Structure 1
Amino acid sequence: MARSYDTPGEGMFAPEEVDPAVAALAALAGNGGALEFAIGTGRIAVPLAARGVPVTGVELSPAMVERLRTKADEATIPVVVGDMATTRVPGDHSLVYLVYNTISNLLTQAEQVECFRNAARHLGPGGRFVVELGVPSLRRLPPGQDGLVFAHRDGYVGLDTFDLEHQHLVSHHIRFEKGGEPSVIRVKQRYVWPSELDLMAQMAGFELESRHADWKGAPFTGDSRSHVSVYRLPERA
């Protein structure tokens, strides 16, 4: 996945996707440092660091970090290889962030709760944890059906299949190359409702500060397909 993850200027790497997220995170970080859980190849971290925000990362995949190193060296963006639910990173941070549905890669509720607790361990009073996450699409499932197409375009079909008992879904990314066999990448996730996420935050000592439908600040409603939630640790009394 690391070899084909980057799509410069397109998809999630398109400026209209990246720029609002970077602007919002820079404003939330203020004069402090930022820690990105699951930093990947630096889609957000590299432009955020370019804006003058000190960024550190946690990443489970050495292959992803290797791709990141083609864009920024260790001195510019330090990265610790490890699990975002448990790995500790030195330094002072005013912001921890976790974008693009990545908290769903933790496949149990207990691991997701530990991720919140790990974020809290890296923050002082008033520190913020930002989570970008999709809203489960279960309202679109007809009775008796356990899958739906979430995207389709020339040469690509995206299909989600759901395991309602265990609150899991598998995203199937199917690409059709001219003259070749289709390629399939499957990503298993644990989907999380916003209210469940809020309870995880409360267990880690956070309070919900704001929730919007996107990085530009659109209102979050019952019809929103994703959300950007900002959680904050209370200030000292």
Structure 2
Amino acid sequence: MTDEDIWTERVAARYDESSAAMFAPEVLGPAVDFLAARAEGGRALELAVGTGRVALPLAARGVPVAGIERSAPMAARLAAKPGADRVPVTIGDMTTATAPGPGPFRLVYLVFNGITNLLTQDAQVACFENAARHLGPGGAFVCEVFVPQLRRLPPGEVALPFDVSEAHLGFDRYDVAEQRLVSHHYTVEPDGSVSTGRSPHRYVWPAELDLMARIAGMRPAERWADFAGAPFTAESTSHVSVWRTPA
């Protein structure tokens, strides 16, 4: 399964609707506040910018934002939105593509589990290295990513539900040996039909991400449970981490 198989025109057309919870003010507001503070008045680059859920409100806050996006259908959805002229987008792989604009960025960020869409450790390391190449001295790389829930996986079992409701069933099927999972989605449509979808991920631990950052020449600076600044603990199901280039 490739990116072209997942981030199709069909998926792009429904992405904002299917991710409506991520657009809620109580979710999006803290994310924009957090990223604007780490931009420190400089330019920001979003890897896997998608349809602009974060980039557009961040740009509206006065932060100059550019994006890198591999899926042309997703980028086209962004381009059709008000304010898109303030967010130049490069179509390319976030492990290698170079963003437009003069000079280095103060902030590079990758949200909503984007790092796990890279399905090998080498690709994830390359993403960190590309982020570091775009940053100036003391710049920040921010990732929002889930913590693998292997403690919830009973011995001999491979699947865990993450959403069970009248309109949606979602579960992850783990391959522990390969450090992979596939998210499965079954959604009841307004006409009563059921649509299906799945996406592969390489799950990654916080400590492994710290090592990737060190390989790329960055150092850990912050780790929170969420963009609102809740403390990260052993019970946290996600984290927002910040690494910085040398000043």
TM interval, shorter chain, is over 0.9
Q: Which amino acid aligns with 1:185?
A: G
In 1, the alpha carbon distance for the partners of 2:244 and 2:138 equals 6
Match runs of 1:69-80 below 5 Å: 69-72=79-82, 75-80=85-90
- Equivalent in the alignment of 2:118: 106
Deviations 1:172-216 (A, max 9, x none): 111023554421110100000000000000000111000000001
Per the alignment, do residues 8 and 181 of structure 1 end up closer, same or farther by CA in structure 2, a change over 3 Å counting? closer
Does the 8 Å contact 2:109/2:143 carry over to 1? yes
**Structure 1 residue 78: Cα displacement:** 0.2
Match of 1:37 in 2: 47
- Which residue of the partner structure matches residue 46 of structure 1? 56
1:222 is matched with which residue?
234
Contact residue 32 and residue 95 of structure 1 kept, 8 A: yes
* TM-score normalised according to structure 1 size: 0.96
How far the C-alpha of 1:10 sits from its partner, in A, is 3.4
2:72 alignment counterpart: 62
Letter in 1 for 2:65: V
Give the alignment partner of residue 3 of structure 1, picking from 6, 9, 13. 13
RMSD: 1.4
TM-score calculated relative to the size of structure 2: 0.92
* Deviating more after overlay: 68-77 vs 220-229: 68-77
Q: Which amino acid aligns with 1:70?
A: A
Identity %, equivalent residues:
56
**Deviation larger for 202-211 or 172-181:** 172-181
| Residue matched to 2:6 | none
Report the counterpart of residue 97 of structure 1 in structure 2: 109
Deviations, residues 97-153 of structure 1 (Å, cap 9, x unaligned): 000001100000000000000000001110110000000011000010000101122
The number of residues matched between the two structures is 235
Report if aligned partners of 1:108, 1:190 keep a CA contact under 8 Å in 2.
Answer: yes
**Structure 1: stretches of 5+ with no match in the other structure:** none
**SS at the partner of 1:145?**
coil
Within the alignment, does 1:136 sit opposite 2:148 as a pair? yes
Asked if structure 1 preserves the Cα contact closer than 8 Å seen for 2:125 and 2:212, the reply is yes
CA contact (8 A) 2:79 2:85 kept: no
The answer on whether the counterparts of 2:78 and 2:84 sit within 8 Å (CA) in structure 1 is no
Paired AA for residue 203 in structure 2: Y
Q: In 2 relative to 1, CA 66–82 (structure 1 residues): closer, same or farther, beyond 3 Å?
A: same
2:8 maps to: none
Question: Runs in 1 of length 4+ with deviation above 2 angstroms?
Answer: 7-10, 72-75, 177-181
In structure 2, the partner of 1:190 is 202
Aligned to 2:187: 175
The Cα shift of 1:75 comes to 3.5
Q: Mark the CA change 1:28 to 1:179 in structure 2 (over 3 Å): closer, same or farther.
A: closer
Aligned position for 2:28: 18
Aligned residue type for 2:156? G
The aligned amino acid for 1:42 is G
8 A Cα contact 1:9 1:15, kept in partner? no
Amino acid in structure 2 at the alignment position of 1:220: F
Match of 1:165 among 149, 169, 177: 177
Q: Is the 8 A contact 2:90 2:100 kept in 1?
A: no
Q: Which structure: greater helix fraction?
A: 2
